[in-house]
Amino acid sequence: MSKNAATRDTTDRPDSWSSPGGRRIAITGAASGIGLAAALAAIRAGDEVWALDRDEAALRSLASQVPDGLLHTVVIDVTDQQSIAAAFGPISESGGLDVLVNSAGIFPRARLDEVSLDHVARVHAVNFLGAVGCTLAARSALVARSGRGPTGGRSTIVFLTSAAALVKLAASEFQRGFAAYGASKAALDRWVVGVAPEFDAEGVLVSLLCPGAIVATPGVVNVLSEEERVNAVSPRQVVAALGELTFDRLERPNGARLLATDYGTVWGAATSGV
C-alpha cells in the first residue's frame, strides 16, 4: 500500500476488541478476509469464537494458528437451510451467543452480456438470504444471552455491507459488472433497518458496517490505480471498526449504517458517540 493510503488507518488507539474475555461470538465467512481477521482479533481478546465457513481446508488452517480452547470451526453452506440449522443449533444449546458477525459474501463480476438468472440468484442466495438465514437461526441464542454476557450489555449483530448498495454509486465505472452484488447488499440494508426495531424490543443491537472505500487487501492493492490506493481503507481499520460494533458501548440507534473510514473521527473510540 502506498504511504498516502496508509494515512487512512486511524486505529492507533486502544484495541477496539478489548474485552474482559469470555464472550461467545459466531462469525460467518471466517476462513478468509475480514471474517478471518475478525476471528483472530476476537480470540486474541479472549473471546470464544465459532468460525463458520464452507472452506474446510481454510478452517483447518485457521485452527492451526490459535491455541486450543477458544476456537470452534464449523463447515457451513449459508445457502442451505439444513446446513445453517445444523451449524447454529449446537451453539444455541451450549449457552447462546453474545455476538453474530455476518461476513460471508461473494462478489463475482459479470457485465450484462455475461449475466444469467442463475448468477443473480447465487449472489443473492449468499449475500442476502445467507445473512438473513444465519440471523434467524441465531436469534434465540442472541436473545437468551442478551444482558447476561461478561460485559452485561445487549447482544449484538454486525452485518458487512457495501457502498455498492447505494443507488447514487451504481452507475460509476468502478461498479460496472457488480450490479447483482450491489442489489444483494441493498436488499440486506433494507431488511436490517426494517427488522431493527423488532430486535431492539428483544434486547439485541444490530448494525451495518460499510468499509466506505476499497479495502486494500494484498491481492487488491496490486490492481489499484494510484488514486484508488490513496482512497483505500486498510483491512486493519475495517476490523477495528467491526470490533467496536460487537460491543454495546456506543450511543447509536438500532440499525445504524456506519462507515469504517469514519471510525475514530465521526464515530467510535475517539469520539463521544456515533
**Catalytic residue of the set 50, 181, 199, 267:** 181
Beta 256-259 vs 24-28: how paired, if at all?
Answer: unpaired
- Report residue 84 as a C-alpha cell: 445453517
Q: How many CB atoms lie within 10 A of CB 273?
A: 9
Question: Nearest Cα to 255, choosing from 205, 211, 212, 210?
Answer: 205
Query: Is 141:147 a contact under the CB 8 Å cutoff?
Result: no
Q: How far apart are CA 96 and CA 227, in angstroms?
A: 45
Q: How far apart are CA 57 and CA 147, in angstroms?
A: 36
3-class secondary-structure state, position 172 = coil
Measured over all CA atoms, what is the biggest interatomic distance in the chain, rounded to whole angstroms?
Answer: 53
Backbone angles phi, psi at 206, to 5 degrees: -110, 145
What does each C-alpha distance from 132 to 3, 41, 101, 127 come to in angstroms? 39, 24, 12, 9
181 included as an active-site residue: yes
Q: How far apart are CA 226 and CA 183, in angstroms?
A: 28
Query: Is 51:73 a contact under the CB 8 Å cutoff?
Result: yes
Spacing of C-alpha 102 from chain mean position: 5
Supply the residues annotated as catalytic.
Answer: 181
